[in-house]
Amino acid sequence: MSFELNTPVNVARQEGVVLFISLIVLVAMSLAGIALMRSVDTATMVTGNLAMKQSSVHSSQLAIAEAAQWLSANSAGSGLYSSSPGAGYFASAPQTEPDWFQASTWDGGQVAAANGGARDAAGNKIRYVIHRLCTESDAAHNGTGGSGVPNQCARYFPTESTAGGSMKAGAETFLGKPEIFYRLTVRVDGPRGTVTIAQVNLLIPT
């Protein structure tokens, strides 16, 4: 006598869950890789821009030294009484302060482009302009302009204590030869669109 036992067998169906999770992980890793690449590119660009900015600052310092040398070489006699736009020099301060970041200010606008806008080895375009901080042109610091108006200049009088005179207590102090303030403005345009504006005041003996 035989018996047949029919037992139902449950077969698990493949739902594709592992494949779905794998695709999600793959997409997440791809996005992370893209973000990392963009971060590296941004860091490289920022580093390059900082290097360009430092280069333009260095170029502005060289321009300051060159302009100071020009002032010293032309300070004898009445060499600085009159303007010399070709050299970027003006014997009086501007009545209205120019917008130094405006390109038209330097391209034949309110001030002439000094030294031709020469470029250095790093590709920086350097321009500068010098203003004697006086109200009148074509006049000494203690003279009068063409309109008869007395010239008023920003000046400094060194005393004996700073010029090598007596340091004795109670000794009479004498004013030395006056020194005139000159304002130098430098603009450096870098190859990546960086713009550096530097301003310094220089004291030159009369």
Q: Kindly give the confidence (pLDDT) of every residue in the chain, 206 residues in length, as a single tens digit, with 9 standing for 90 and above.
A: 555 555 555 555 556 677 778 788 888 888 888 877 777 666 666 655 666 677 777 888 888 888 889 999 998 888 899 998 888 899 999 989 989 998 888 875 445 445 555 677 778 888 889 999 999 999 998 899 888 899 999 988 876 554 455 555 665 666 667 899 999 999 988 887 888 899 999 998 87
- Look up the domain containing 120 and give its range: 54-76+86-92+104-161+172-206
pTM above 0.75, yes or no: no
CA atoms of 147 and 163, how far apart (whole Å): 36
Residue 188 within a domain: yes
Instruction: Give yes or no for a contact between 67 and 163, defined as CB atoms under 8 angstroms apart.
Output: no
For 3, the token pair is: 């018996």
Residue 2 within a domain: no
* C-alpha 35 chain-centroid distance: 33
Residue 25 within a domain: no
For 58, the token pair is: 């260095």
